[in-house]
Structure 1
Amino acid sequence: MEGDLAARIAAVAAVAARHADTVDADARFPAEAFAELKAQKLMAVLLPHVFGGEGRSVADAAQICYALGKVCSSTSMIYAMHSANVACVVNHRDDSEHFLACLRRIGVNQMLLASSTTEGQNGANVRASAASLVHTGDIVSLDRDASVLSYGADADAIVTTARRSPESLPSDQVLALFFHDDYSLQRTSKWDVMGMRGTCSEGFRLMAKGRREQVLSEPYDRIHRRSMVPVTHLLWAACWAGVAAGAVTRAQSFVRMVARAQKGALPPGAPCATQASLSLSTLVRLVDSALANYLARASDGKALEELGFQTELNLRKVSASELAITTVMHAFNACGIAAYRNDGDFSVSRSLRDILSSAIMINNSRILANVSTSCLIGGVPDSLSRLQ
């Protein structure tokens, strides 16, 4: 079974690699890679079998993100965001027949889910909504300024936050699922950026209408802590580790190529390739450790909401992004001018531009400011962990 998964991941990665340069150059959605992801039945790996999925864990989704990150950062990041959305709707699903039918529709059709959590000028404050659901009998409607809606124009469905009702406070949020035939999009901003260009994170006016059963009854606050934050941070980190691994592979290949050409003499950047390898090893161990911690708590909602765990998740996001940037920079320096070029087998230009996004998704400074109080409360460990 695991060998089959590895082969399916490799097939998708091969397609993503062939189109990665044009996805970046044209800032377009990686349609070919996602056609192959659907063909390989990898879009619903987190959904239980009863909904047409595979019932796999977040660790399996992370492996897919890592493999895709090596060859196409945008494909990997989109898959990470999609998988986090799937985790939210399946982990917090209602038992109504209509919502269960929605999940089966997602799994059977291998649908791509986008999310709208950024609204208007609220930046990354996803815990407050301006737009509210309007209830008319069994129908709910929403008119939202979705100022950042990644791959929204190419998604099959959108998961969005909203105020529970027009009378609700901005923090009284719910999560709603709307399918493509439930909504319309009017573009309000374009996506012309340094890196992660294929994520197409444009702005839209989102106008949606669906059945009340498409709104999860569980408060978004709980969904946010138990699923959205853990799964998003873990899969983002796996994506960034993959980007770093791709850069390190090119650095190692460059050093070997020069050494062969110079009959064993190493290029000046060889020590940087060593630093890149060491940094990548640290990054991979950090991601593996975070995944193991999450999986040990995944079935215990209260454990997922513990302040210490939430703080650790946020800090690991910061550490993973910083380590990934450091790793790619070491690889960049190892290859020198060959890395600086946009063409050639040893270019690290796209990897560097893409990985710089990691520090601002969500901004590391914002995260550190938000967790500063909990870090002071938490104290420090009394001793090192015992070696087994």
Structure 2
Amino acid sequence: MGTDRAETGTDRGAGTEADPGTGTGTPAGTAAPTTAVDLVAPVLREHAAAHDERATFPRESVAALRRHGLMGLLVPSEYGGTGAGLAAFVEVAQGLSGHCLSTGQIWAMHCFQVDAIVRHGTPALKAALLPRIAAGEVYIGSVTSERGRRADLFSADAPLDAGSGGDRLTLERDAPVVTGGDHADGYLITMRASPTARPHEVSLVYADRTDLQIETAGEWDALGMRATESIGMKLKGTVPAHNVVGVPGRFADVARQSMVPLSHLGWSACWLGAARGALRDLLRWQAASGGGRGRDGGPSELSSERIGRVRISLELVSAYLTRVREEVERARSGGSGMDGPRGQIQLNTLKIAAADLTFEAVDRMVQIAGLRTGYLKNSELALERHFRDLRSASLNHANDALTVGVGALSMLDRGVTLI
């Protein structure tokens, strides 16, 4: 792991049209998002298995995303980005994840951070950072975990310190898990707002990699999602005070209006995209190999029933994802968030349903394909990898905790206003 990181740590800023390896030139950001997905898909498919095997960051795939303008999908056009909305975000997340779920999730999590900066960043931060993101120069890692603290997005122990001047903020953070952290060009970090602030008075601050001293710790040897290379990191440095995103101490507002809705939409889209891609490959394999045939040469009833159940699961996830995305868009257009009981129930339900149903679908696909084609690592299908990757979905912000939240929030919506 340590050797792999040393060898691949030069991919930051890579992926421009003039020189894909140096980070100079102009990104090819003129392609429509769906066209860009088609352009990068062969790269993702080529490298997915190798990075899964080695548990290393998919540097070639992320370089392709940089090169074709996808890192700036949510950056407004005035800063050089695509200026796309949530429909394009969900569609691209699905498209990428159909070829490599780790790459799709790395990209989606980057977009969560970008949206927070676009909607809540200071004018100075947006002017300095957003054009760099649009140019493919900056991949942002998310630092919300904290060693020694239970998983709680809305609290932090390590404080920001303004010192005597106030124009620079000092931070020191020990995070046990940072997705793609060793390859990020910058980080959005949750910190206690000040040394005297309470644990739930949390600020979100952007730190450029060049402003930090960084140590990595541990290895990422997981069952699935191996190419996310989600290692531990210690970050220490100073940043400009205008790098605080949102009102100091009010990170909860930023999270509820931006990061939480996008994370549930993005994760669900990624999981759906992976399961959808797996079904597409399975159906093509059956057509080419004659698998699932009955005695009369047509599809057997058993095979059709199994495929039908998989398809129903994916249709349900897709439909609910679309409706929740529309609800988020409606809330944003009205200047509000999804922080009421009904909105929170919908977001949590989306995440729970997508995690459960997509994993269930891939589990069924393994059964359909059988031992040799569905279960073996060296199969021509990647069902074994999809199975391991999607097993993580219910653990990523644990489903059981979210289900408890749905139950508690339901007591505040006794009229049961369904979506």
TM-score normalised per structure 2: 0.86
Q: Is 1:250 aligned to 2:278, yes or no?
A: no
**Matches of 1:272 and 1:54 in 2, distance apart?**
40
Partner of residue 293 from structure 1, selected from 311, 327, 334: 327
**What corresponds to 2:245 in structure 1?**
216
> Residue 13 of structure 1: CA displacement?
1.5
Give distance in 2, aligned partners of 1:217 and 1:276.
42
Q: Secondary structure of 1:53's match?
A: coil
Supply the AA of the counterpart residue of 1:88: A
- 1:129–1:173 CA contact under 8 A, matched in 2: yes
Task: Describe the SS at the equivalent of 1:66.
Answer: helix
1:245-324 → structure 2 map (5 Å cutoff): 245-259=276-290, 264-266=297-299, 269-324=303-358
Q: 2:391 aligns with which of 336, 344, 356?
A: 356
Q: Aligned partners of 1:14 and 1:310: how far apart in 2?
A: 37
Q: Which residue of 1 aligns with 2:222?
A: 193
For the pair 1:64 / 2:89, whether they are aligned, the reply is no
Residues in 2 aligned to 1:194 and 1:65: alpha-carbon distance in whole angstroms: 22
CA offsets, 1:169-220, max 9 Å, x none?
0100111001110112212222110000011111111113111111124220
Q: Secondary structure, in 3 states, of the residue corresponding to 2:221?
A: coil
> Shift of the alpha carbon at 1:100?
2.3
Where 2:393 maps in the other structure, the secondary structure is helix
Distance between the aligned counterparts of 1:351 and 1:170, measured in 2? 38
The residue type equivalent to 1:172 in the other structure is E
Q: Which moved more, 1:268-277 or 1:239-248?
A: 268-277
Paired with 2:292 and 2:315, the residues of 1 have a C-alpha distance of 28
Aligned-partner Cα distance in 1 for 2:92–2:30: 12
Q: Partners in 2 of 1:318 and 1:81 — Cα distance?
A: 18
Structure 1 alignment gaps of length 5 or more: none
1:321 offset after TM fit, Å?
A: 0.7
Q: Which 5+ residue runs of structure 2 have no aligned equivalent?
A: 1-28
1:23-44, Cα deviation, whole Å (9 max, x unpaired): 1001111111111111101101
CA–CA separation in structure 1 for the residues paired with 2:149 and 2:251:
17
The DSSP-based 3-state class of the residue aligned with 1:379 is coil
Give the residue type in structure 2 aligned to 1:20: A
Letter in 2 for 1:60: A
Q: Which residue of 1 aligns with 2:42?
A: 14
Taking the aligned partners of 2:30 and 2:185, their CA distance within structure 1 comes to 28
The sequence identity of aligned pairs, in percent, is 27
- Preserved contact between residue 20 and residue 72 of structure 1 (Cα < 8 Å): yes
- Cα distance in structure 2, aligned partners of 1:193 and 1:260: 32
Counterpart residue identity of residue 259, structure 1: G
TM-score of the superposed pair, with normalisation by structure 1: 0.93
Contact conserved, 2:69 with 2:136, CA < 8 A, in 1? no
CA apart distance, 1:101: 1.7
8 Å CA contact retained: 1:119, 1:144: yes
CA distance in structure 2 between the aligned counterparts of 1:2 and 1:212, rounded to whole angstroms: 34
The SS at the match of 1:71 is: coil
1:160/1:177 contact within 8 Å kept: yes
Equivalent position of 1:101 in the other structure: 128
Moved more, 263-272 or 363-372: 263-272
**Residues 1:341 and 2:376 are matched in the alignment:** yes
- Confirm or deny: 8 A CA contact 1:269 1:335 kept in the other structure: no
